[in-house]
Amino acid sequence: MQRMNAAQARRTALAAQGFGKRRPANPKRRAVLDVVARTRLLQIDSVSAVVRAHYAPVFSRIGPYDRGLLDGAAWSDSAKARRGLVEYWAHEAALIPVADWPLMRWRMREYRHGRWSGMRAIVERNPTLGKDILDVVTEVGAASAGEIERHLELDKPRPKGTWWNLSDTKMICEQLFAAGELSTARRVGFTRHYDLTERVVPADVRDREIAEDDAVRELIRRSSRALGIGTEADLRDYYRLARRQSAPAIADLVDAGELLPVDVDGWDAPAYLHPEAATPRRITGTALLCPFDPLIFFRPRTQRIFDFHYRIEIYTPEPKRVHGYYVFPLLVDGKLVGRVDLRAERATGRLLAPGAFAEPGYATAETAQALRGALREMADWLELDEVVIGERGDLAPLL
């Protein structure tokens, strides 16, 4: 079994995720898609305290870029620029390469009755609503749940005392999305506009049938390449697999020489190295990481690799929050050295940093300088004029 020290494992993980590379001077669509080619997914989340979660990991890796490039890759399709990304439940709701869509067919079958048990009750009280929704979308094309609801009201006035309403329509749309019958053609604001999957995913991709065992092995291959090095739990979590799926897949890949068992100093579980993973001598550069960045979204891995205890506090009552509502870890030269609570106040053109905190040993002028530059760069990217530093945290006075 190969051995690695913790610093080597950390640099391997960072390099696999695209950190430490020279940034493109003028990022184009190719640079954006190259990020996703490495990470394999961008998690989507509704919180817009700073910027939507799927935009931030690209910024963290290549610097300021036109967010319209990512929008175009995900939510538009033309002869000149084919759709490059598609939405589905990967880690959570996520953008994935269109070519990866068939790898999720087994999950679509699992979700054919919805992603949660309460869906059955909605279907039972609206037995024809799914077909009605598909009929509307077939006729009118991509539409939001609200637009579909209005068409249903117009075409099929609801009988007195009927149960279905906008929330039921939205839930059935989501069920059809999870089952693979609908996909997201575009977003307006942050609202999904559903369309028939056959109009979103190309036929050659849609027609590929992959057995569950083969798909799971391929997903483990992808998570291994994206992570560089990881434990079974790391590899499993990336696509939210079950252990009953990941354990035999990992065993098969080890037997085939496609995963290399590694003993990492200080890690509490066996690790697996992708054979093509690089271990650079140094990782340089500064980046702010949003809470849903693939580098850190699995918190046990973040703790293990960076010795960085990180929990999102959105759902924690404000008086009990330790660091803040929407906190970005600060990556400097391959280490997580601090964190900053951020808010984009678009009406006033300000990027607010109510709190800034250093990790032990990093409350220094150098850390503050790195954070200051990162905040200014983020503000410019978001077209905000001013960065306002609050008073909370040991980095705030240094800023």
Burial 309-338 (b: 16+ CB within 10 A, else e): ebebbeeeeeeeeebbbbbbbbbbebbbbb
The whole-angstrom separation of Cα 20 and Cα 9 is: 14
**DSSP letter string over 58-126?**
HHHHH-S--HHHHHHHHH---SSS---EEEEESSSEEEEEGGGGGGGHHHHHHTTT-SSTTHHHHHHH-
Cβ-proximal residues to 236 (8 Å cutoff; 6+ apart), any chain: 242, 243, 245, 246
Give the pLDDT mean for 283-304.
98
Total number of residues shown for the chain: 399
Query: Which amino acid makes up residue 85?
Result: L
Local structure of residue 364 (DSSP, 8 states):
S
- Contacting residues for 178 by C-beta, under 8 A, at least 6 apart: 89, 108, 111, 114, 115
Roughly what angle, to the nearest 10 degrees, separates helices 129-140 and 145-155? 100
Residue 163's pLDDT is 46
Taking a C-beta distance cutoff of 8 angstroms, is the pair 140, 157 a contact?
A: no
132 in Cβ contact with 145 (< 8 Å)? no
DSSP 320: G
Specify the pLDDT at position 156.
59
Tokens of 68: 């319209």
What pLDDT score was predicted for residue 123?
A: 82
Identify the pLDDT of residue 317.
93
> What pLDDT score was predicted for residue 206?
96
pTM for this entry: 0.94
Inform me whether the pLDDT recorded for 62 exceeds 90: yes
Residue 235: partners with Cβ closer than 8 Å, 6 or more residues away: 220, 223, 224, 227, 246, 250, 272
**Exposure letters 265-275 (e unless 16+ CB within 10 A, then b):** eebeeebbbbe
* CA separation, residue 116 to residues 83, 120, 122, 145, 319 (Å): 30, 8, 11, 19, 32
3-state secondary structure (DSSP) of residue 394 = coil
Burial 81-114 (b: 16+ CB within 10 A, else e): eebbbbbbbbbebbbbbbebbbbbbbbbeebeeb
CA distance 353 to 336: 18
Strands (E), the chain: 2-4, 42-43, 85-89, 93-97, 182-188, 191-196, 229-231, 260-264, 271-273, 286-288, 327-332, 335-345, 350-358, 386-392
Q: How confident is the model at residue 164 (pLDDT cuts 50, 70, 90)?
A: very low
What is the rounded average pLDDT for all residues in the chain? 95
pLDDT in tens, 227-269: 999 999 999 999 999 999 999 999 999 999 999 999 999 999 9
Q: How confident is the model at residue 1 (pLDDT cuts 50, 70, 90)?
A: confident
In contact, 168 and 114? CB cutoff 8 Å: no
Calculate the CA dihedral of residues 163, 166, 169, 170 and round it to 10 degrees: -140
Give tens-digit pLDDT for 180-195.
999 999 999 899 999 9
Q: 307-316, long-range: CB within 8 Å, 24+ apart, which pairs?
A: 308/336, 308/359, 310/339, 314/47
The per-residue pLDDT for range 305-348, each reduced to its tens digit, is 999 999 999 999 999 999 999 999 999 999 999 999 999 999 99
Q: How confident is the model at residue 197 (pLDDT cuts 50, 70, 90)?
A: very high
Cα angle value 321/323/326 (rounded, 5°): 90
